[in-house]
Structures are given as structure tokens and as C-alpha cells.
Structure 1
Amino acid sequence: MKKLVLLSAFLFIFQIQVFPTIIIVDQSGGGNYVSIQEGINNADNGDTVLVYPGTYYENINYNGKNITVASLLLTTQDTIYISQTIINGNQNGSVVEFVSGEGLNSIIKGFTITNGFANLNDSTASGGGIKCINSSPTIENNIIKENACDWYLYGGGIFCMNSNSYILNNTICDNEGAYCGGGICIYDSSEVLIKGNVIFNNITNSGYGVAAGGGIFVGGSMSYAVIEHNTICNNIVDFGNGGGICSYNASIVNTTLWNNYPDEISGENTIISYSDIQGGWPGTGNIDADPLFADPANGNFNLTWENFPVPDDTKSPCIDAGDPDSPLDPDNTIADMGAFYFNQIVTSVEPSIEAKPNHKLFQNYPNPFSFKTTISYYIQKEENVNIVVFNSIGDEIRTLADRKQIAGKYSVIWDGNDNSGKQAGSGIYFYQLLINHKAVSTERLILTK
């Protein structure tokens, strides 16, 4: 019996050791650190710095580490955390810097990145929001807005030089660049992927010369970018060209360029296909037709089809108009043009029992955890819901939810305390989803101290 206990203890310790570290940043003091940079400084390659909601006034540098820095979007898939977790650069340089050889496993995800200012006093300045020099991070699911560059500098929102970065599913808006790239500037970089982004209301100022690329600029020696499934609208170059895109070597596909000033595209050596471009552009599958956005004046660039599924003139011309050889949209239809697809799956008014989603309890994250962990769950209709944590012998430790809720996905946070407010000890715990006081799902978690 003693051997069995020792073996179990050994396996438990081994299980904890093989997990990368989850570092919690919470400015309220409930995590490991109160600033994001402190979390980065104490992280090792492969770790995750998980940032709780708040406004963090700082300028962060990854210091060459291949780590993930993310909001609770990472653990919950709830996009509300993007707007609730803000890194404010306080106009004190680039908000986020990748300048020490970081690779694609250096990830920033789920933040609002704002109020950065690239200043001439910095010899490596450019990129008011995010700077990537000799580095190739992954930048995904962020709002990058209201950043700027000093005169003669590039990339109000993002600047990449000698980089193969992935820029995925971001909103890049209201940034101001000087000379090249109000939204994004790609310079002396090969095979940068720009995909799924909405890029709008950015400005490139000319200063004492000619400016280029209000939305995106791709230039310099050996630069090349793949630009696909983006929506690029309402960007401006005050004196110059390429209000939407100025590119000297790129592939553009399944992209919408509309209402950019003074023109949609300029440059050379750029292949454009299956894209909606105001004023037209030569190339396979390109169209020139109002994309019928939902509410572009307020930043809603979803495609519309008022009389769906009737194939009339209320259908956005971008629907099913993308490259037929591209991967299908999630609804298994031909790819749409732009960052957002129109969902053509028809839901019956009274779906069959088989078609209804089940109640679901998700694995907590992080796991193991030391300070806080998030537990998410889904309910299919209005029910009485309980989320309860038990110890390994079945004693109730903490009730995290006890309420009636309508259909939807929810999240609760356990701080490791029991119902009396005392800290629970390290070990294995179980959490349970109960519907109308009947258990429907149970998952395991590990608390470490």
C-alpha cells in the first residue's frame, strides 16, 4: 500500500513538472505580478503570461523569449476581454517590441494596444503600436488603435523589418504613420502573412515628401507579403499614393479595398486576384461592386444579405466570390472576400433534438494553477445552474455559480479559496456542472502552491 501511495505521489509531481509555467498578471494584486513586463522577465521559453483585465500603462519587450502573452481571450474564447485588457504605451515609444530574434512562437494575443508613439530620439524607432525588427512574432486577435509615429518614421500601427511575422485577425484602426504605412509597414521583410485583419481609418502623413500606404505599405529590398482575407477601408494618404495598399512585391487575394484615399492600390510586382477593389483592378476574379457592409461608419464591416437566402441585389457581391481554390468558409461555402464571411447555415425554427447543442463543461485554464483559474461552460437553454468544486474525497469545497441563466457560454474564476474564504491546499480537485441540481459533467483540475 505504501508503494502505491509513493508511486501516485511521484506521478503527481511528474505531471506538474511537465506543464509549462502559467504566469498570472493581475494589476489588482491577485496574481504572480502586477505588470506585464514583470511577467515576461520571469518567464522561460514555452511559458504563458496570462493577463487579467485592466489598463496596463507600460511598454513591453519580449527580450528574445518565445512565450505567449495573452488576455483571458486565450482561456475563454470570449472576445470581450480584448477591449477589457489594454496596454497603453503612454506615448513613450512602441507599446510592444520584438527586437531580439523572437520567432513565430512569440505570441501576443487578445489585447487593445494603444497610445504608442515612435519617437525620433530612439535610433530603432518605428512602429507606434508594435515594432518587429530582426524578429518574426505572431500578432493575433488584437485591437491596435490610436498609435502614431514621429516624422520620417514608418508604421503607425505595426512595423516589421527583416521579419517573417504573422499578422492575423486583428483590428488595426485610427493609427497615424509618417511616410509609409499608417496601419502596417513591411520593410525589407520576406513572406510576412497578413490575414483576416480589418484595417480602417489609418492615416499616412507626408511631412516634407511623398507618403505611401495608408492601410499597408510593403517595400524595401526583398520584401514580400501575402495579403489575404483582409478588409481595408477608409484609410488616407494625405499627399502621395496607395491609400489602401502601396506594395512593391505582394500577393493579394480574397481582400476588399474600399473608400481609401486617394486610391485603393499603388506599386508594382503585386499579383491581385479574387478581390473587391473600388474603381476596379485587372486580375483573375477581381470585382468592383459595393460590398454592402453592415455599418462601416461605426466600424462594422460584416457582409450583409438582407433577403437571405433569396439571390437578389441585397446579397453582398463579396459572398461566395473569393478564390474557389481557397479553403471553404466555415459554413462549407466558397470563400467570401474580406475579413468576415457571411454565415449561410440556416437554423431551423424548431431544430431536432439531435441538432441542439448539449450542455458542456470546458477544461479550466490554466491547469495546473496557483492563484486563479477560469472555468467555462455552455448551457443550451434557460436553466438553474451550479458550478461546484470538490476535493478528491468528494467534499464540497467551493460553489462558484448558483443561479438561473439563459442559454449561452459563461465563465467563472476560482481563486483557490473554499466557501469560508480559506485557501485550499495543493492537490487534485474536481469541478462539476449541475443543471437543475443534477450533475451533467465533471472535470479535474490541479492546484499547486
Structure 2
Amino acid sequence: MDGLSVSRKHKVNFIIVGIALLLLTLGNNFLVLAQTNATALGDLVARMGARSWAELQTIGLTKELVSSNGDFRHVLEYTDKAVWYPAGEKLFFIGGGHYAGMEFISYDAKTNTWQELSDPYWFPGVEICHAYHCNAIDFNRGLLFFLMCDSRMVYQFNIEKNQWSQLPENTSGSQSFAMALEYFPEIDGLVHVINGEVNILNKKTSQWSNLAKDLAMGDYHNFAEYNPVHKVVLLGGGNDSNKMYKLSANGKITALRPAPFSLAISRALITVDPVSGDYLIFGGNDKFSAYDIAADSWTPEPSPTVPIFEKVADESNIFGCVATPVAGYGVTMFVKLVLEQGARAYLYKHADAGTPDNILKVGPGRTYKKPSEAAAAAKDGDAVEIDTGEYRGDAAVWTQNNLTMRGVGGRAYLNANGIHAQGKGTWVVKGSNTTIENIEFSGATVPDHNGAAIRQEGRNLTVRNCFFHDNENGILTDDDLQSEILIEYSEFARNGRGDGYTHNMYISRVGRFTLRYSYSHHARIGHNVKSRAQENHILYNRIMDEQAGTSSYAIDLPNGGLAYVIGNLMQQGPQTENSGIVTYGAEGLSHTQNEFYLVNNTMVNDHNTGQFVSIATGTAKAKLINNLFVGPGTVLSGAGEQITNLTTSSPGFVNNGLFDYRLTNSSPAINAGSNPDLANGVDLTPVYHYAHPLAAEVRPRDERIDIGAFEFSAMTSTEELNRVPENFVLEQNYPNPFNPATIVRFGLPMLGNVRLTIYNAAGQLVRQLVSGPIDAGVHEVVWDGTDNRGRRLSSGVYLCKFQADDFVAQKKLILTK
């Protein structure tokens, strides 16, 4: 059998293998994008270099297509945004001319043709349409959204079903002729922007809510543009306004530095590059600029070599152009009105898909023998690739910005062995916007006994698939309320000196800290997770002492702040030095917003006494919702609202002794929870559960949510995984779209000869997952997005083909950034 090993009982084993294989080949955070030769679009993109323009020759992009109501009032006049549907490789937009009606237009990359689609049922009677920034898409579900001008009505188009429907009206929101609409995947919601007002439609609850009412922006011609790389929405603009804001997935709106020119979308064009995440902004007397939202910085770009700036309306400086990032191809498409000729399609490739231009390679046979040598040579924006193996007694200071350091061929092992940089730790990171991937750290000690494997002094750090063990601190950060720290898919073990002042991780007063899909355990006397951040998102982790651990708290948030602790597995062992599990505000509430939300966690106390949660006096709001508390001790010390929690000594776990806290069908937690609802615009409902080790799976959804970190269903039932199906079946992969890995499930009613393969959009075989005889039953395989040679594949649409004897089935898989 080729590919990954297969089992019908333990899907977690596949996650381990799949993630491990993924991380052996993990490349730049911005994935290589598909440039298939199967389409004219792909052919052209393959010939383009970075920062280049090209015209795409297409069929049907005529003067008649972009005219409205029989005269040449152009539907591109008062429209500036299209959307791209990766699964179908199609572009869509509803366009409008001034008092000239609307048209629904599509481009199919597979056939390279344009067409006018049937009018939606709500078109008749519409005389004026300022479409502007009112097209949006949920490409996961294949749903197009359109906000009707001068109304509060949002319409939804199911692309696969070719069906329109109306969404709930935003009865409390404002309306005008030139508003903005965007879909935000991370919150599964629509963002509506108008005249300083920001509203959200939660697609799960079908309820509108208001995030802001008086932001400084123009009263007309606003914009909202999702960034698929940075997972935020840039919004603002309006007449005579250069104000910009960043909307994050937690509902937080952050003011950015004003643009160098007005961002009214009648006179500016705003889109985003799908590779780098730079916003591409046209305006200000024919200026073309790239805006980096992570650095909040502007870069002038060379003038376009195509007529983007040519004006098309006498009454204003209207471009007559729509734009959209084209996921899977690494370009942005512009559909530009050309007077008296119709329209033309242009492509712009801002950044080459792939790794950064300058990669510094580290290893025994490389230019740089150890990481410290690369640190001395690196420049801003470089990537440092460190070959697998042990680097003993090496420490480094990283001063550059926008660096990526990663292990390749497996985890690179940095055993400091007591060697340190600047008396602070193994790696002292002074630059901003740093990403560290696939590296193991140990042996960080310094003279003052407060050393760290990573000492973060710059702004913004991402740590992914790293292992920190046997250091004084795993990670220690400096204070910076503008900084954001993200740790995911990483393990922390046995860090701390045993003095109570050193911890597995110690996050100081930063703006936002996110810990997800990670495993922190066996801290030495200190805490498994300690954070003084202004805002904390601790999501879907395993935080435990197990049998021999001696940590103090599982989670310590000593200064309060805004905290969301959702979907975690937490356990206090019998050898612990402190009987508390989670503490909030124990050293004083020093932030302006002090709210604590503990939702759908499973917390087990194997100590003979203790308290599960401690809340400081003065906390503005504390809610404990749907948590499963197992073992002795006080559930809550301090004031807080408790909603549908369960305290029991008989939780009905699969195996308590092995810390397998999934539910069996006898658990009293099943169907005992309630809807967690929203807090500060954040949906508290868990969407994943932790899968050991260092992974996450989509949490199944039932009519009523279960209490605790797991949902009981066929997905977690041992009996269900052991069942033999009546027929051959290939199920849809999950998650889909996916990154970094996805699970493919198939079933056989009898022993069969199975071939499970992955093809790219050009029909080329790229990965063979299974080939050989497989027993009857339900089986699962993880595909990590790599080909048969272990190379990371480009984002795009792939086909999974399942053959079992004479049975053949196939499913579309979408690999995203």
C-alpha cells in the first residue's frame, strides 16, 4: 500500500501522520498558487512575472454585454468589485449604471467565456443601481451576496443551485446609494459599512448586530475588503475621507494610519493581492500603491501598463472597472470599460507565488552552518530554512522585520545547552512580524534564571508546529499593547526552573494573544499557560499535568483583560503544587475591559481538592457556559454567571485514565448544553475540538449542543467507526476548503482493492493516498496538501477519486491559503 496508512478505528492516528508529513514540507506561509495550463487564464498567468500586467483575451466581453437596458450606459460605471468562486473557477458581479438598471454577469475560466446571467427575481422595477462595493462571496458554500443600493436588503445567490433568496433585513441599520458589503469567513458573517456605521449579519443566527456607529469616515462611497492572507477586513473611505480601519475576527475594530489620498470608491479602486495580502489601491490623481495592513505601511507602485486610470464618465472621475483577487492563480483580475469598444480583462501579478525571493539555507552542507550565521546575514523579508538535525550550543539575535524561520525535512533541533544571546535566551527576536515554524527548542538557561527559548521583543509573532521543552521559559515576550502573538499546533513540556516564576509560556502585556490547537503540559511548578495580554483567545488546546505533572495553574490570566477560553481540555494532576486550575485577575485587573468567557471546556481535577475557576473581585463580566467539571473541588471562586454547566464524577468518558475525554453514549453531557450566543460580536459557539496530538477537527453540530469540549456523534462514536456500511461510499472531505490538512473518509461493505488518488485541475495525478486491499468498514486518510514527492502543492481545486473494485466516486477538494 502506498501513501498514508489506513485504519477504520482511530482517525486521530491519521491526523498525527498527516500533520507530521505536512510539517516535513511546510513552506512559506503564503502557499504556492496554482498556475494550471488547463485554461487560458492559467496559460497567461504562467508567463507573468512579479509586478507585471497582461491582457487576458476572452470570448464575449463585448460592448453589448456591459451595456444596460439597450443603451450604452455602462454597468461598469457604478461598480468596482467582482467576486471569484474557486470551486467553479468563475467570476461573478452585479453591475449598475447611473439610472440605467443592472446586469448579472459571469466569466467561466474553464471555457474562457463571458455571459449575462438571468435577471434575479428582484431586478424588475429597479431604476438606479450604485453597485460599487456591494458584491461579496462565501466561497466555502458557493454563496454570492449583493446589497441593494438605497435599501437594507441583502440577496443571496446559491451558485450551484442557481437560486436567489433574500436574507433578513437590517432594520436598524442605515442606508444610502453607495454602501459596502463583504463576507468575513472567520466569523461566518456579512459586514455592512455605511457612513461610519459597521453592522454584522451572523449567518448562523440570521441576526444583525452593530459593531460601530460613529467611526470617522465619509458619508458615501465606503468600502470593505476581506484579506484572505491576514484574515481581516479593511474598511472605511467615503467621500473626502482617507480614514481606514481593520476589522479582526474577534470583532475588534482598529484605526489605521490614514491613506495618502481620498478613498471614496467612486474615485478610488481597492482590491487585494491573494499571494502577499497587500491591498492594491488606485486613486489620488492616478496613483497606484500597495498597502501592507500588517505593517500599516504604503509603497508606491509603478504605473499600470494598461489603461486602468482612463475615466469613463463625464460627470466624475469614475474608472469604470471591477476587480477581484483570483484565488488559485495568484493574480488580480480587472474588468475595465474601454469607451466605444466594450471592456477588456487585465491581470496583475503583484507577488510571485511561492517562497520569498531571498532564502537563506542553514545546515551542515549549506552556506550557513548554524542559525546564528543566517541571523547575521538576513535582511527584512527573508526566509531562513534550517535543515533537520541538532544545532547544539548556538544562539542568535534576529533584528530584521518580516522574517520567516522554519525547519525543513523535519524539525530542526536547537539545543542551546546553556549558550544564550544577550543573557536573554536562545533566540532573541527584535524584529517585527516574525514567523517561526517547525523548530524544537531546549536548554535555554541564562545567568538571571529567566531565560527563554524565544525571547520576543519585536511586534507580532507567529509560532507554528514548534516544540519547547526543558527551558527556563518556553516563550517570554515583552510588553507591547500593539503586538499580537499567535501560537498554534505547538507543544510545551517541562519548561520552568521550579521556582514558580518561570513557565511553559509567559505572554506579557501584549494587545492580543491566541493559543490554539496546542499541547502544554508538565510545567515545572510554574504555569502551563500564563498571559497578561489585553485580549486572550485560548481555543481548542490540551493543557494538562497528567499523572506526574507539578504545574501551578493550567491557565493564569493575572491581570484580567478580555478573555475567551473555549473548547479546551484541562486537567490538574495529583502532584500539582497549586490546587487551582484557571485563575483570572489574581494580581489585579489592570486592563480597561475585564470580561471572562469560559465556554465548552472539559476540566478534570485529579487532585484531592481544589477549585476549577477563580475570578477576581471587580471583574465586569464572567460567564461559565457549557463546561464539564469532573472531580472534587469548588467550581467557581468569585462572582460569575453559570449557564448549563455540569459537575459530575461520572462523566462517561471514553477512557479517563488515558485522558481520552471524548463522550460515550452514556454521558450525562449529551444534549445538555445551551446556545452560548455572542459576546462583543464574537460567536462563543465552539466550531472545533482538539485532536491529540497538535491538531483540530471540526466539531459536529447537533440540534442541541453537548456540554464540554467534545460533541458526541457518529464522528466520535467507537461503535460508529467500527460499523460496516451497506454500500461503497466516498464522503466529502472535511474540513473543506482546508489548510493545512484535510480528512478523506470512505467506506467498504466488503474487502476491496482500493485506489484513492488526488488529481489537479489539469487532470494530472499528484498524490496517491491508498493503493491496495482494504478491509470492510469505515476508513479515514489525511491528505496534507503535498504531492507524491512531498512537495507542497499550490492552492486551488483538486479532485479526489475513489476506486474500489468496480465502484468509482469522486469529490472536489479546495486547498486554500
Query: Aligned residue for 2:564?
Result: 226
Describe the shift of the 1:442–1:29 C-alpha distance in structure 2 as closer, same or farther (beyond 3 A).
farther
Instruction: Write the mapping of 1:263-278 to structure 2, written as runs, cut at 5 A.
Output: 263-269=611-617, 271-274=622-625, 275-277=627-629, 278=633
Query: Aligned residue for 2:506?
Result: 159
Matched, 1:340 2:699: no
Structure 1: runs of 5 or more not aligned: 72-85, 118-127, 205-212, 309-313, 367-373, 418-429, 444-449
Query: Aligned residue for 1:244?
Result: 581
Percent identity, aligned pairs only? 14
- Greater relative contact order (Cα 8 A, min sep 6): structure 1 or 2? 2
- Give per-residue Cα distances to partners, 1:285-314, cap 9 Å, x unaligned: 233213333334333333x22xx3xxxxx2
Q: CA RMSD in A?
A: 5.3
- Give per-residue Cα distances to partners, 1:333-382, cap 9 Å, x unaligned: 2444443333356869565769632699x99999xxxxxxx999877665
Cα shift at 1:319: 5.6
Query: Aligned residue for 1:409?
Result: 781
Give the number of the structure whose alpha-carbon radius of gyration is greater.
2
- Give per-residue Cα distances to partners, 1:181-211, cap 9 Å, x unaligned: x211123x2111112222111534xxxxxxx
Cα shift at 1:265: 3.0
Aligned to 1:89, which of 442, 447, 453?
442
Does the aligned pair in 2 maintain the 1:387–1:401 contact within 8 Å? yes
Query: Aligned residue for 2:647?
Result: 288
Matched, 1:190 2:564: no
Matched, 1:172 2:520: yes
- Segment drifting more, 15-24 vs 194-203: 15-24
- AA aligned opposite 2:601: T
Does the aligned pair in 2 maintain the 1:159–1:186 contact within 8 Å? yes
Cα shift at 1:53: 2.2
Describe the shift of the 1:131–1:25 C-alpha distance in structure 2 as closer, same or farther (beyond 3 A).
farther
Secondary structure of 1:297's counterpart equals helix
TM-score by length of 1: 0.62
- AA aligned opposite 1:252: L
Describe the shift of the 1:402–1:185 C-alpha distance in structure 2 as closer, same or farther (beyond 3 A).
closer
2-side partners of 1:354 and 1:403: how far apart? 16
Cα shift at 1:215: 1.3
TM-score by length of 2: 0.37
Query: Aligned residue for 2:465?
Result: 110
Matched, 1:145 2:484: no
Q: Which has the higher strand share?
A: 2
- AA aligned opposite 2:712: F
Does the aligned pair in 2 maintain the 1:214–1:237 contact within 8 Å? no
Cα shift at 1:401: 7.8
2-side partners of 1:167 and 1:67: how far apart? 16
Describe the shift of the 1:416–1:296 C-alpha distance in structure 2 as closer, same or farther (beyond 3 A).
closer
Instruction: Write the mapping of 1:46-65 to structure 2, written as runs, cut at 5 A.
Output: 49=406, 51-54=408-411, 56-58=413-415, 59-65=426-432
Aligned to 1:18, which of 352, 358, 362?
352
- AA aligned opposite 1:273: L
- Segment drifting more, 267-276 vs 28-37: 28-37
- AA aligned opposite 1:70: E
Cα shift at 1:223: 4.0
- Give per-residue Cα distances to partners, 1:29-55, cap 9 Å, x unaligned: 799988777888533738684644245
Query: Aligned residue for 1:255?
Result: 601
Does the aligned pair in 1 maintain the 2:362–2:374 contact within 8 Å? no
Cα shift at 1:389: 10
Query: Aligned residue for 2:544?
Result: 200
2-side partners of 1:161 and 1:246: how far apart? 16
Say how many residue pairs are matched: 373
Query: Aligned residue for 2:336?
Result: none
Does the aligned pair in 2 maintain the 1:36–1:51 contact within 8 Å? no
Cα shift at 1:174: 0.7
2-side partners of 1:442 and 1:276: how far apart? 37
Describe the shift of the 1:294–1:160 C-alpha distance in structure 2 as closer, same or farther (beyond 3 A).
same
2-side partners of 1:48 and 1:435: how far apart? 41
Describe the shift of the 1:410–1:199 C-alpha distance in structure 2 as closer, same or farther (beyond 3 A).
closer
